[in-house]
Amino acid sequence: MLQPNLPDPHLFNSPDRHCGIQPNRAVRPTQRRGRFPVAILVSTVLVAGTLSACQPGRSGKRCNTTDWGRDSTHILRCVNKRWKRVMTFGQYVNLLAAANTTTTATPTTAPPPPPCTQRNIPVPSATPTTPAAGFEARSAAFGGLGSWVDVYDWSPTFIASKNSSARPSFTLARVDAMADAGVQVLFIQTAKSEFSQPVLDNDLLVSIIAKAKGRGMRVVGWFLPAHKDVADDLRHLRATAALGVDGIGLDIEDRCSVTDVTLRNQNLVALSTQLRAEFPTLPLAGVVLPAVVLDVINTGYWPAFPWKELGASFDAWMPMGYWTNRTTASGYRDGYKYTIENIDRTRTNLGLPNAVMSPIGGLAAETIPTELDGFMQAIAERGAIGGSLYDEMTSKAGQFAQLAPLRR
């Protein structure tokens, strides 16, 4: 998709281009609509507890209780034998936090409603400012020299959905070529949210992973959530983890499937929190939009991006810093400047000055050696643990050689 109001006409390419327009590729199919289930919403947004003990209800429908209820997004109260929405789950969390904050000032808000039963609902912790314990060891999964592969290149099922006569360009032989070029981490897209399969072409995917590991590479499965249905996004991520990957990359960039920013942010935080809770020892990376785009180039692209709320969920951060999407006139068609500013802004936005970084540069097809030199310099100056170009199929042997110092 073209970013609106940007100083250049480049498509905003990334590990899974979105919003229907993809350079040199067919338009993506319409994504399946999904529902946001209460169990996932509550267990993740409230983090430490649930409201699942509340009676399910529907605003305006009859009720016969003195207790509280809930629908998919709100706490309900039975008033005159009809369910009435009282507040959203998010508002309830805020009230809980406010009610439990020690202060000498007179409270300016009403106390939160009681739990639906005697079951205690713990107050969620303050906005996370540190990643989960053990992140330093887990982050090593994303270190060194990496390369990216998407379903447009390896998945027969996805490719056939676009062109029935087309065949994958990425084969097992490419895995050998990557290893021979010094690549240490294979980042491979495992699923698409609009496909019902938990992962695409499971047998082939397992073979690719086994081949890469047999050549001494780590394998990180990555997935682009649509943020429409947290349960469905988790289904794909659980299936990815079950492949025996060394880590998971959450590609955080789809803003078109859910245009309501508040809901999108809520679902993103819920998904990330639940993913961390379910896989506490699995290395997780946040593959994020470049902070320069969100902070400088187009502040309306994804406003109020929930950086700090995501801080405890991920072990490493991988800004999609494609300087090739910027014009020379913008000042950001520069491998050094764009990379170092994205790293600095990401750390500042997270409130984590030492957040582990492994930036993604490119796009490889348009990158020239001097830009790659700048990329490498920025990585060294900011102490990033690794780096990569997007993507493998368009990377040149000379680029891998230039990136060789990233190996560790």
Over residues 152-191, the pLDDT tens digits come to 999 999 999 999 999 999 999 999 999 999 999 999 999 9
**Region of poorest pLDDT, from 22-26, 303-307, 404-408:** 22-26
What number of helices (H) and strands (E) belong to the chain? Answer: 14, 12
* Residue-level pLDDT at 278: 97
Question: How many residues appear in the chain?
Answer: 408
**Averaged confidence pLDDT in the chain:** 82
* Residue-level pLDDT at 286: 99
Query: Cα(347)–Cα(208) distance, rounded to whole angstroms?
Result: 34
Q: Where do we find the tokens 């989960």?
A: 132
Average pLDDT on 216-226 reads 99
Q: Where do we find the tokens 């994303």?
A: 142
Record the tokens describing residue 196, joined without a space.
Answer: 């019902």
Query: Cα(137)–Cα(208) distance, rounded to whole angstroms?
Result: 25
Name the pairing type of β-strands 386-390 and 218-223.
Answer: unpaired
Rg (CA), the chain: 22
* Residue-level pLDDT at 67: 65
Q: What is the DSSP string of 209-270?
A: HHHHHHTT-EEEEEE---SS-HHHHHHHHHHHHTTT-SEEEEEE---SS---HHHHHHHHHH
pLDDT category at 212 given cuts 50, 70, 90 is very high
Q: In this model, does residue 326 exceed pLDDT 60?
A: yes
Between the CA of residue 147 and those of 89, 220, 390, what are the distances in Å? 40, 10, 7
pLDDT category at 145 given cuts 50, 70, 90 is very high
Q: In this model, does residue 109 exceed pLDDT 60?
A: no
Please state the φ and ψ torsions of residue 59, each to the nearest 5 degrees: -55, 130
Q: What percent of the chain has pLDDT over 70?
A: 74
Record the tokens describing residue 283, joined without a space.
Answer: 């290395």
Per the model's pLDDT, the better-predicted residue between 380 and 121 turns out to be 380
- Domain boundary assignment for the chain: 48-124, 135-406
Q: Sort 173 into a burial class: Cβ within 10 Å, 0-12 / 13-18 / 19+.
A: exposed
Residue type, 379: I
pLDDT category at 62 given cuts 50, 70, 90 is confident
Q: In this model, does residue 147 exceed pLDDT 80?
A: yes
Superfamily name with CATH number, domain 135-406: Glycosidases (3.20.20.80)
* Residue-level pLDDT at 10: 36
**Region of poorest pLDDT, from 24-38, 62-76, 385-399:** 24-38
Q: Mutual orientation of helices 335-350 and 369-381 as an angle, nearest 10°?
A: 30
Q: Which residues lie closer than 8 Å to 172 by C-beta, 6 or more apart?
A: 207, 208, 211
Q: Which residues lie closer than 8 Å to 24 by C-beta, 6 or more apart?
A: none
User: Model-level pTM?
Assistant: 0.72
Give the pLDDT confidence of 68-91 residue by residue, as tens digits. 777 655 677 777 788 777 765 555
pLDDT category at 294 given cuts 50, 70, 90 is very high
How would you list the strands of the sheet with 82-88, edge to edge? 55-56, 68-70, 74-79, 82-88
Q: In this model, does residue 1 exceed pLDDT 90?
A: no
CB 294 within 8 A of CB 252: no
DSSP label at 294? I
Average pLDDT on 250-278 reads 98
Average pLDDT on 12-35 reads 37
Average pLDDT on 231-248 reads 98
